[in-house]
Amino acid sequence: MESKSNDGDGVPLLPTTPGPGEEVPSQRRRAIAVVLIAVLAFLEGVSMSLPGPFFPPEAKNHGLTQSEIGVVAGSLDVANLCFSFVIGSLISPSNKKAVLLTGTIISSAALSLFGLVDYAQDERIYFVLCILTRILNGIGVSMVFTMMILISSTCFPQKVALMNSFIHTVFGVGMFLGPVFGSILIPVGGYVTPFVSIGLIETVFSFLGMIIIPVFPASKKTANDFKTKEYLMFLVSFPALSVFVPTIVVTLMSGFRDSAYALHYHEVTGLAYQKIGLLFVVNALAATITLSVVGVLTQKGFGPSIMIIAQCLTPLTTFAMFLPYILPEIETKGWAILTLATNGVSVDAAINPSYLLLQKAAIKNGVQNIDQVRKYSSSCFMIILSMGRILGAALIGGYLNELVGFYFTSLIYTSVAMVTVTWHIVFLVRSGLIGKVYFDTDVDNDEPASDNLDALN
């Protein structure tokens, strides 16, 4: 007869009859595993934010145009997006650890190679190698982020929102410190130094994960198969699109930031590009603080209300970025700091609650197995982040910015955001999702939690 292990307070967690290569970890072992995953999330945050302030000016020196810079910045997320569609079919309870560690090794190696590409002399070779290394990095990132959420949620299934918030918060701290590391290390050892250093450090922690992270046994009721038709029906359902599209518009700001902000603020503030990274710290710090607060509030049921605030803040922020075109005298370092801070708040306040609403959309669309709900939500979550960064980098920060300039790009962005904000708010209000709405955490019974599951009906 199958017995269960307890999650510290008598809550059944996992079967205690593991299969070959599986184990039932203690609560202490699971806590250590989550800490290691958090370290990897931190390093991923550093690697994601590192190119933003420093790559565009360096690429300009290599002869790349603004559009080409946008293509390079978005290529990571193109790979991330494409791989997000297949990652679900690769996941099983027994290979989550392997997928995570393979992804971190790929990501860390690609980051180091991206820095070393700077030694390429020919402009075309440099451009192609930049794209290839970013694509490789995107594949690794897709594997890492999907597994981080799934494994940490498996470790503490009754605290899904807190685990999600914790991982994204330490990722945000990494985003915060990435530009700082670059500003410190580039003057010491040159442009290549921070990329190779962070890549090597992440590789070391990847190998530590082979020892520390357990292989969890599978519940007999766990759904291992990724049901493609069911997943696609979920993606095109109205509830999913009503979260999907407006959140993508918010995350456009991330890609816009990575491809265009450094050059713009270098021009208007006069800061050397090595020091622009310190200006980006404001954006990442605001995002980190926001994530830590939002995670707690989302766990308490306030996620949809937070998303409304984030959605409304987005067009206000982008209009503030346009305003110096009318009032040039306000274009100061202080104004840059203000807009970058609100930018960080609006983007990251929308990230954590969107995962919650995607779960509700999956349940509304008839997905009853909680393992499938989490797989679909995690995959869709990665697609949102990827598409937002792709379009933000290549279309908004690249092509459109080169065509009409930074200020009018911000104005166009404001108009689009106002439309999607209205759509999102109307959907949340009409669906009854303004009150307290909670994460589904009833994993043992493999049934959705009852709180507010009918809110989308």
Q: CATH no. for residue 221?
A: 1.20.1250.20
Closest of 379, 423, 372 to residue 235, by C-alpha:
379
395 lies in some domain = yes
Q: What pLDDT does residue 132 have?
A: 92
Instruction: Give the domain extent around 204.
Output: 23-456
pTM above 0.95, yes or no: no
Q: What are the contacts of 115-118 at 24+ separation with CB within 8 A?
A: 115/191, 115/192, 115/193, 115/194, 115/195, 115/196, 115/199, 116/192, 116/195, 116/196, 118/58, 118/191, 118/192
| Beta-bridge partners for 6 | 12
User: What is the rounded (10 degree) CA torsion for 155, 157, 162, 164?
Assistant: 70
The whole-angstrom separation of Cα 17 and Cα 145 is 28
Give the total number of structural domains in the chain: 1
Spans in the chain with pLDDT lower than 70: 1-25, 84-94, 158, 160-161, 165, 216-227, 273-275, 277, 371, 439-457
6 lies in some domain = no
450 lies in some domain = yes
131 lies in some domain = yes
CB atoms within 10 A of CB 132: 16
12 lies in some domain = no
Closest of 256, 254, 279, 253 to residue 266, by C-alpha:
279
Q: What pLDDT does residue 218 have?
A: 54
Q: What pLDDT does residue 305 have?
A: 87
b/e per residue 414-426 (b: at least 16 CB within 10 A):
beebbebbebbbe
How is residue 216 annotated by DSSP? P
For the segment 200-220, what is each residue's pLDDT rounded down to a tens digit? 998 898 888 878 877 765 544
227 lies in some domain = yes
Q: What phi and psi values does residue 224 have, to the nearest 5 degrees?
A: -90, -25
Q: What pLDDT does residue 181 have?
A: 85
The whole-angstrom separation of Cα 416 and Cα 399 is 17
Q: What pLDDT does residue 94 have?
A: 65
The whole-angstrom separation of Cα 30 and Cα 326 is 55
11 lies in some domain = no
204 lies in some domain = yes
